[in-house]
A and B are shown apart, each in its own frame.
Chain A
Amino acid sequence: MADYREMWRSLGMDLETHDLLCEALPEAFGGVYLTQENRPQGMDFYDFVVSEIHGVRPAELIEHRKSGGKVFGTFCVYVPDEIIFAAGGIAAGLCGGSQFWVPGGEKVLPANTCPLIKASVGARLDKTCPFFLAADMFVGETTCDGKKKAWEILANEVPIHVINIPQMKRDADIDFFKGEIMNFIKVVEDFTGNKITPEALGESIKLINDKRKALQRVYSSRKSAPVPISGKDALLVTQIAFYDDPARCAQMANKLCDELEERIQQKQGVFPENAPRIMVTGTPMAIPNWKLHHIIESAGAAVVVEESCTGTRYFENLVDEQGTTIEEQVKALAERYMKTNCACFTPNPGRIDDIVRLVEEYKVDGVIDSTLQFCNLYSTESYLVKKELVDRGIPVLHIETDYSDSDYGQLQTRVEAFLEMLQK
């Protein structure tokens, strides 16, 4: 076996505690993923990435640092990765999706903080995640109060830059966000020592757009019946996209799509054609949070789309590639990122419109609106989501959950009852 222990040690990791995570992952991945039948061959790559999750990519990041490059750890789909790559840096998504890291976060955060924030902070403070330790700078944002305060704690560990995300979408807010991107360019240039030229930014915009197009293609295949790929597998593709090399991400996703499109031609699916088609909407599911998808798909339904940050919000809308000056490119970036509809905005009718549109596009039979515990924004917005869906006669189930398995049985019962209702 490749021995990564020296690398982990050099990052200052707590190997003893990390061993416990290494012990849990094979069983969880085997039980959730490798028990599926008829998976696309193209999932081999993603199985490989999970198998080497704390090895291959962290080693690439360390190599990048050795050659003078900088690694930026990010936590949100509003961070313009384009700027980081244009300066020769690497952006790696760091959101924590494991219960394993939650107690570490609870040592410094109130218990009523969402598990995603607790896990992210815990992963860094407990020194059990190489990605958190390989980052030279963290890039935070202001998409919720819990995160805003968490940045102040993480700032004791690593330099952190916080991007101020507007909370409304008026013209003035988009202008303000343009200013935030210009400011971010300056921060990244100073930190990397590299000037961002219009040429470099143009290439980087194209690089990230290509990744988005590839992910859009994966999702597009899920509009078919029977669906050629499970929701669990599609979720894994998106989760990995957050920290993989963007060019490789696009290449592997496109390769997978060639196979999925062939499957569609042959009417080959992973669920029967009449299996209930479910949309999952709500808060993100960072790797290795596969709980809800596993419950839904084990009950015989197919998750065909995720309206979330680990779903359509991540890759819908492209940045206009026509700009030739930094000002034009920044304007295009601001306009693209401000099209993303997060519950941190008020009002946020765009998200409801997205859900309704996706229900139609993906021929969804029922929507499961899932929020992480203590996420006030999404939990509150669920009232409006439910109201709109009920008015339109679209079945909806709202659940609130965390990363633990303590509510697994209860969720199973609720999801099964919901699916039974759909089939009547």
Chain B
Amino acid sequence: MSENKVYILFPNHTEGLRLSSTLRQRGIKYAISPTPRSLSVCCGISLIVAEEELDIIEGIISDTGVLIEKIAKVPIKKDWQYRGS
């Protein structure tokens, strides 16, 4: 079990949706997520992917030419509690 959440950030949402669509077609798990503030000052879409599948995903990014801003790992918080946002 990975200790990190892996986020892929994009220059715009179109690129994020392009990658999500390719991952879906290839049966690779991902989640579309708001980008944590610690990774970017701009709100917007990022993809959370499994750390174990990162090599394959990086290959797909390179093959498809999807533009990404960066890939970042954030330690998983184990004590998350609901907060009135």
Chain A residue at smallest Cβ distance from B69: A1
**Chain A count of residues within 8 A CB distance of the other chain:** 41
Interface status of A30 (Cβ within 8 A of chain B): yes
Contact between B85 and A51, CB atoms less than 8 A apart: no
Chain A positions within 8 Å of B17 at CB level: 48
Knowing A1-B10, A30-B33, A52-B13, the reply to whether A25 touches B40 (Cβ < 8 A) is no
Contact between A2 and B11, CB atoms less than 8 A apart: yes
Contact between A1 and B9, CB atoms less than 8 A apart: yes
Contact between B82 and A55, CB atoms less than 8 A apart: no
User: Nearest Cβ in chain A — how far from B3, in angstroms?
Assistant: 16
Chain B residue at smallest Cβ distance from A22: B43
**Chain B count of residues within 8 A CB distance of the other chain:** 32
Interface status of A53 (Cβ within 8 A of chain B): yes
Contact between B46 and A51, CB atoms less than 8 A apart: yes
Q: Mark A1-16, 1 if CB is under 8 A from B, else 0.
A: 1111100000000000
The docked-state distance in angstroms from the alpha carbon of A4 to that of B44 is 9
Q: How many A-B residue pairs have CB under 8 A?
A: 110
Q: Mark A32-71, 1 if CB is under 8 A from B, else 0.
A: 1010000001001001101111111000000000000000
User: 8 Å CB contacts to B: which residues of A17-37?
Assistant: 19, 21-32, 34
Chain A positions within 8 Å of B77 at CB level: 27
Chain B positions within 8 Å of A32 at CB level: 82
Chain B positions within 8 Å of A48 at CB level: 13, 16-17, 32, 45
Chain B positions within 8 Å of A31 at CB level: 80-82
Knowing A2-B12, A48-B13, A48-B45, the reply to whether A98 touches B40 (Cβ < 8 A) is no
Contact between A100 and B20, CB atoms less than 8 A apart: no
- Which residues of chain A have a CB within 8 Å of any CB of chain B? 1-5, 19, 21-32, 34, 41, 44, 47-48, 50-56, 98-100, 288, 291, 294-295, 403-405, 408
30 contacts between A and B (CB under 8 A): A1-B11, A1-B12, A2-B12, A3-B42, A19-B41, A24-B85, A28-B83, A29-B34, A31-B82, A34-B31, A44-B32, A47-B33, A48-B13, A48-B17, A48-B45, A50-B34, A51-B43, A52-B43, A52-B44, A53-B34, A53-B43, A55-B43, A56-B13, A98-B84, A100-B84, A100-B85, A288-B85, A294-B82, A295-B82, A405-B83
- Which residues of chain B have a CB within 8 Å of any CB of chain A? 9-13, 16-17, 20, 24, 31-37, 40-46, 48, 69, 77, 80-85
**5 other contacts beyond A48-B45, A55-B13, with CB at 8 A cut-off?**
A1-B46, A34-B31, A51-B43, A52-B43, A55-B44
